[in-house]
Amino acid sequence: MKIVPLCERMEFFDAVVQCLWNEWGKCKNLTLSFWECWVRSSLHPAEVPQTYIAISETATGDMRGEQLLGTVSLWRSDLQSRQDLTPWLGGLYVVPAFRGRGVASALQRYVLRRAASMSIPRLYLMTEHEHFYERTGWIFLGTSPHETGVDVRIYAHDTSDCDEA
Ligand SMILES: CC(C)(COP(=O)(O)OP(=O)(O)OC[C@H]1O[C@@H](n2cnc3c(N)ncnc32)[C@H](O)[C@@H]1OP(=O)(O)O)[C@@H](O)C(=O)NCCC(=O)NCCS
């Protein structure tokens, strides 16, 4: 597996949009074009916001055999009710067939390292999952209202601790 910025492998753009729309678009009534715009606006080559992809590596190094395994982004904001916190790890998604193999953990480590390389000291994320991000060293800060009406859990991770994620 390798992890690279999506802006360097734009042939995976449509697949990333489709994954995010399938996972979060339909339940939140968001259109495919909403996600296209969101991902397209998260492709900065050198600073936040950025989107990354995990792709499989073929034994022969043939790029045509590569498959999308998962994606994650670094966003300025992911929760309207907490504009005081930035930036955020968001859009963490692993293709169902590749779950349970450490892809999500590797994507988290990668984002933390990228943020550290941009001199960003701390990342935040929001989730409804419990006992998932604790596994990779994220610290629970508390809950906050999400615009859909539910309270979400907010976590933080110092980028200097990125080897633990
Ligand atoms: C959640 C998700 C990213 C995990 O991806 P993954 O590549 O399977 O994760 P990893 O292999 O790195 O870690 C798997 C471990 O996390 C655990 N785990 C997975 N989902 C979990 C959850 N919702 N709550 C608690 N633990 C969870 C697994 O049981 C597994 O534990 P094990 O290693 O002891 O067997 C993936 O299931 C996914 O894309 N889900 C849909 C989108 C989503 O919920 N994204 C997170 C939004 S905040």
pLDDT tens string, the chain, 165 residues long: the values are: 999 999 999 999 999 999 999 999 876 788 999 999 999 999 999 999 999 999 998 877 777 789 999 999 999 999 999 999 999 999 999 999 999 999 999 999 999 999 999 999 999 999 999 999 999 999 999 999 998 899 999 999 999 987 655
Q: Which domains does the chain have, with CATH numbers?
A: 2-164 (3.40.630.30)
Q: What is the pLDDT of residue 26?
A: 73
Q: Whose alpha carbon is nearest atom 44 of ligand 1?
A: 93
Please give the structure tokens belonging to residue 9: 């492998």
Residue-level pLDDT at 65: 84
Give 132 Cα–ligand 1 centroid separation in angstroms.
Answer: 7
Q: Which residues, judged by CB distance below 6 Å to any ligand atom, belong to the binding site of ligand 1?
A: 23, 92-94, 99-105, 127, 129, 131-132
71: DSSP letter: E
State residue 98 phi and psi, 5-degree precision. -110, 10
**Model pLDDT, residue 28:** 73
Looking at the CA of residue 95, tell me the nearest atom of ligand 1.
39
pLDDT of residue 164: 54
Task: Residue 75: name the closest of 109, 39, 110 by CA.
Answer: 39
Q: For position 165, what pLDDT does the model report?
A: 56
CA distance 92 to 74: 10
